[in-house]
Each structure stands twice: as C-alpha cells, then as structure tokens.
C-alpha cells in the first residue's frame, strides 16, 4: 500500500510489528507463546474502581459529552495525589489537565508546543511517543544516548551547545521505559538548572511513579523549587491501578503549558466517558492497598525472572522500578542484534520480548522483558531459554543459512 504522505513517511513501521507478525503466525499454529513483549498490565482493575464505573454508567446522563480537560472532581483528585505523594501543591483549575491516557497527553503537548523545525532533546532509547509525538508535530529530534541518567544529562549539555536553533524542549522519563532506570531529586535539580539556563521547557513522563521495588519511591521533577515555572509532568493511572485500557492520564504543572494543552484538546475531544472519570476519581481518592498489591506482584515477578533467567545462563540486572527488565543479549547471541535475537527467541523458545532497537538505535544490544506473565510462566520461559542458549550454535547456523538464501 502506498503510504507516501508527508507525515507517514516520518513514522517508520513499528519494529515490534515484525516480531508481532511472527507471534501471530506461531499462535495461529496453536503454539503457546509466553509473551513478555508488551507493557500491558495483565492483572484485573481493582473491584471498587470497576464497581464505581458500573454504578455511574447507569445514570441516564452518563452518555453525554464530558469535559475535555477532565471533570473538576477528577482534577481535584489528581491534585490531591500530587499533594499526598510528592508534597507538590497544584491548582486543579489551572495546573491539572486530565488526558485520555498519558500517551494522548504527551502527543497533544507536542502539538501545542511545537513550531515547525523546533529542536527537541529526547532520550534514546525511549518510549516511542517521546520522539514521534514531536515528529508528528513538525519538530526535529536531537537524540541523546540515555543508557544511564548521567550519560543523558551530559549528552543534553552537549546537544544544547551544538544545536541550531537551540532546543526548546527537554524530555525526561524516569522510571524509564525501556531501561527501567530511575533518578533521585539531585538528578532533577541538575536537569531543572540546565533547562532554566538554556531556556528549555521540561516534559517529564512519570507513568511508572508507583511501580518501584526499592525503599524510596521515585520523586517528581515538580518537587524541585521553581520547576513549575518551566515543567509539566505526564502521569497515568494505567500502571498504578492496572487501568491501561481505561485511558486515564494527566498533565500537571506549569499553568501556561497546561492551558496550551487544554486549548488543543478542546478542539479534539470531549474528555473520557464520564463514568470512567468518576471511577478514576474513586481510584485516586480511595483505598491505596490495591496499588501496594500491584507493586508487590511486579516485584515478585521481577525476582523470579532475574533468578530463573540467571540460573538458565542469562544474567539480567534486577530493575529497580517500572514493569520491565532491560536485558543485555546473552553471550552466544550478542552479535546477532536485538531484532534477530527476538525473532529467534520467539521461533525457537516460544518467548516474546521487545527488541531494544525498537526503542531507538542506542537500544541495540538489549531486549525489554515486560513483567506481564505470572511467575509459573516466567519459570517455564526460563526453562525454554536454557535450551535455547545450549543450542545457540545450531540455531544461529540455521538462521545464517536462511538469511543467505533470501
């Protein structure tokens, strides 16, 4: 199909599509694939949240258009969460916009802020909307290698010195998808100082704020004094409450940026279905033990993954946060590259992972493993991986023959 449109030419097909096609073919053959490929929470949304949705949906008025920037009660609940969790005070009228998931919020922020040719500093590897939201809005991406937060910040300084025009937006995203790294307040202090010095707006994506496995919860950039002058944060209920399909996110912080986003959204949407917003309000204002349970489930899976894969011969660093492990390719497959490795792992071991290169060129050499299968299936995957590693020579030999024949 000819998709030779200006914007579409700037959106390469998702690398993950290639892997997904193989997954669909194998599943079509009745093969059970253990699927760590996507970041799609597999646990149920807590019952009291679902109950609130059902109850509200029965209201005869429920089907009407809602409010594009979110009903006031939801915005107040979002501000309440920021006050409780981070000690950050937000005005629900001017400093909070409810979004249709954080992805929509991020993409429309890009629309709101970008003039054609504006330079945006973006981590690489990154969650794809971070770069492509701005590319769709006509921006130019300055990719900065982000294999560690420190490397990212020093790369940002270099990017600022060498970009013409100078960059206008700095993207931060910790805990990171895909690298699972997280940062402390010192990092944000430095990032905000850098952004202030160079007149950059800061967009910080903190979708995994509640999925952490160390004692200290991840901080918010808005905790830094003066951050609200230049920064907004994008957050989400998707992972915190296992509500990914409900599409509830938020953009909070700088009032001018929030107003710009609200203006764009007022042309595009009428807000989420009101009962979804009411249920999201109940999630934020209600009991939080469900969040601790969700976090504990991911942590238990992380521990099983790291130990079972380690015993199978694939050492994987334990992620401190997020719902992913960022795994270097195991020794015998190191030269294969992440895409071929992911394909072979799927075909031969029936385990799906996301190739690191799908998150940007600096993601090469790694795969992302989502903690979205239960512990028993993680152990099964490790048994399959053990066999896959022991047969590496034969598997790679067959792959080379097949490639040569193409």
Ligand X SMILES: Cc1ncc(COP(=O)(O)O)c(C=O)c1O
Tell me, residue by residue from 242 to 271, as one string, x for binding to ligand X by CB under 6 A and - for no binding: --x----x----------------------
Which C-beta is closer to ligand X: that of 66 or that of 108? 108
Quick one: which segment of 43-51, 75-83, 97-105, 214-222 binds ligand X (CB under 6 A)? 97-105
Our finding on whether 102 is near ligand X (CB under 6 A) is yes
DSSP 6-42: TTGGGSPPPHHHHHHHHHHHHHHTT---EE-SS----
Our finding on whether 228 is near ligand X (CB under 6 A) is no
The residue number whose beta carbon is nearest to ligand X equals 101
* Cis bond upstream, residue 346 (ω within 30): no
Angle at 214 between CA 384 and CA 153, to 5 degrees: 95
Give me the least distance between CB of 251 and ligand X, in Å please. Answer: 11
CB 102 within 8 A of CB 235: yes
Our finding on whether 369 is near ligand X (CB under 6 A) is no
Q: How far apart are CA 387 and CA 213, in angstroms?
A: 30
Element (H, E) at 128: helix 128-136
Which C-beta is closer to ligand X: that of 37 or that of 39? 39
Quick one: which segment of 14-22, 59-67, 99-107, 255-263 binds ligand X (CB under 6 A)? 99-107
Our finding on whether 238 is near ligand X (CB under 6 A) is yes
Give me the least distance between CB of 22 and ligand X, in Å please. Answer: 21
* Cis bond upstream, residue 165 (ω within 30): yes
Q: How far apart are CA 347 and CA 45, in angstroms?
A: 32
CA 6 to the chain's CA centroid: 27
Our finding on whether 39 is near ligand X (CB under 6 A) is yes
Angle at 84 between CA 83 and CA 88, to 5 degrees: 25
Our finding on whether 306 is near ligand X (CB under 6 A) is no
Enter the DSSP assignment of 365: T
Which C-beta is closer to ligand X: that of 227 or that of 248? 248
Please work out the total of residues on this chain that contact ligand X, with binding judged by CB under 6 A: 13
CB 359 within 8 A of CB 368: yes
143 phi, psi to nearest 5 deg: -75, 130
355 phi, psi to nearest 5 deg: -65, 135
Which C-beta is closer to ligand X: that of 282 or that of 399? 282
Quick one: which segment of 101-109, 154-162, 330-338, 369-377 binds ligand X (CB under 6 A)? 101-109
CB 101 within 8 A of CB 70: no
Cα radius of gyration rounded to whole Å, the chain: 22
Our finding on whether 182 is near ligand X (CB under 6 A) is no
Quick one: which segment of 59-67, 96-104, 376-384, 387-395 binds ligand X (CB under 6 A)? 96-104
3-state secondary structure of 160: helix
Which C-beta is closer to ligand X: that of 39 or that of 330? 39
Q: How far apart are CA 329 and CA 23, in angstroms?
A: 20
Give me the least distance between CB of 249 and ligand X, in Å please. Answer: 4
What are the C-alpha distances in Å from 20 to residues 16, 36, 249, 351, 396? 6, 12, 27, 12, 21
Give me the least distance between CB of 207 and ligand X, in Å please. Answer: 4
Our finding on whether 232 is near ligand X (CB under 6 A) is no
- Choosing from 34, 144, 180, 207, the residue that interacts with ligand X (CB under 6 A) is 207
Which C-beta is closer to ligand X: that of 111 or that of 198? 111
What are the C-alpha distances in Å from 113 to residues 109, 136, 192, 201, 400? 6, 12, 18, 9, 47
- Choosing from 236, 240, 277, 297, the residue that interacts with ligand X (CB under 6 A) is 236
Which C-beta is closer to ligand X: that of 187 or that of 333? 187
CB 153 within 8 A of CB 194: yes
Give me the least distance between CB of 38 and ligand X, in Å please. Answer: 8
CB 187 within 8 A of CB 218: no
Our finding on whether 127 is near ligand X (CB under 6 A) is yes
Enter the DSSP assignment of 218: P
Which C-beta is closer to ligand X: that of 39 or that of 167? 39
Which C-beta is closer to ligand X: that of 237 or that of 395? 237
Our finding on whether 123 is near ligand X (CB under 6 A) is no
Tell me, residue by residue from 138 to 177, as one string, x for binding to ligand X by CB under 6 A and - for no binding: -----------------------------------x---x
Residues that bind ligand X (CB under 6 A): 39, 101-103, 127, 173, 177, 205, 207, 236, 238, 244, 249
């Amino acid at each position: 199909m000819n998709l030779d449109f200006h914007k579409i030419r700037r959106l390469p097909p998702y690398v993950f599509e290639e892997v997904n096609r193989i997954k669909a073919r194998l599943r079509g053959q009745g093969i059970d694939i253990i699927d760590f490929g996507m970041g799609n929470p597999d646990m149920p949304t807590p019952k009291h949240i679902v109950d609130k949705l059902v109850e509200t949906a029965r209201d005869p008025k429920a089907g009407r258009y809602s409010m594009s920037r979110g009903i006031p009660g939801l915005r107040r609940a979002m501000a309440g969460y920021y006050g409780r969790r981070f000690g950050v005070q937000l005005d629900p009228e001017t400093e909070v916009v409810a979004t249709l998931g954080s992805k929509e919020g991020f993409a429309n922020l890009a629309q709101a802020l970008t003039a054609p040719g504006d330079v945006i500093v973006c981590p690489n590897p990154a969650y794809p909307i971070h770069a492509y939201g701005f590319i769709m809005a006509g921006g130019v991406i300055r990719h900065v290698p982000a294999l560690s937060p420190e490397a990212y910040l020093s790369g940002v300084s270099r990017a600022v010195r060498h970009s013409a025009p100078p960059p206008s937006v700095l993207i931060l995203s910790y805990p990171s998808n895909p690298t699972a790294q997280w940062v402390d307040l010192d990092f944000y202090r430095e990032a905000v100082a850098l952004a202030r010095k160079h007149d950059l707006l800061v967009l910080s994506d903190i979708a995994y704020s509640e999925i952490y496995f160390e004692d200290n919860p991840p901080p918010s950039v808005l905790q830094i004094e003066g951050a609200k002058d230049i920064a907004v944060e994008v957050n989400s209920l998707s992972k915190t409450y296992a509500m990914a399909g409900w599409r509830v996110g938020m953009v909070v912080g700088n009032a001018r940026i929030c107003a710009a986003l609200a203006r764009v959204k007022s042309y595009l949407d009428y807000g989420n279905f009101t009962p979804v917003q009411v249920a999201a309000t109940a999630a934020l204002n209600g009991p939080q033990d469900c969040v601790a349970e969700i976090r504990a489930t991911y942590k238990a899976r992380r521990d099983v993954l790291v130990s079972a894969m380690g015993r199978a011969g694939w050492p994987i660093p334990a992620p401190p946060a997020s719902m992913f492990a960022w795994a270097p390719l195991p020794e015998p497959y190191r030269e294969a590259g992440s895409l071929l490795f992911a394909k072979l792992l799927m075909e031969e071991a029936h385990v799906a992972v996301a190739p690191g290169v799908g998150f940007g060129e600096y993601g090469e050499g790694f795969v992302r493993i989502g903690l979205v299968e239960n512990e028993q299936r993680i152990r099964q995957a490790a048994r399959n991986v053990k066999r896959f590693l022991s047969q590496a020579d034969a598997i790679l030999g067959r792959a080379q023959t097949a490639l040569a024949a193409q």
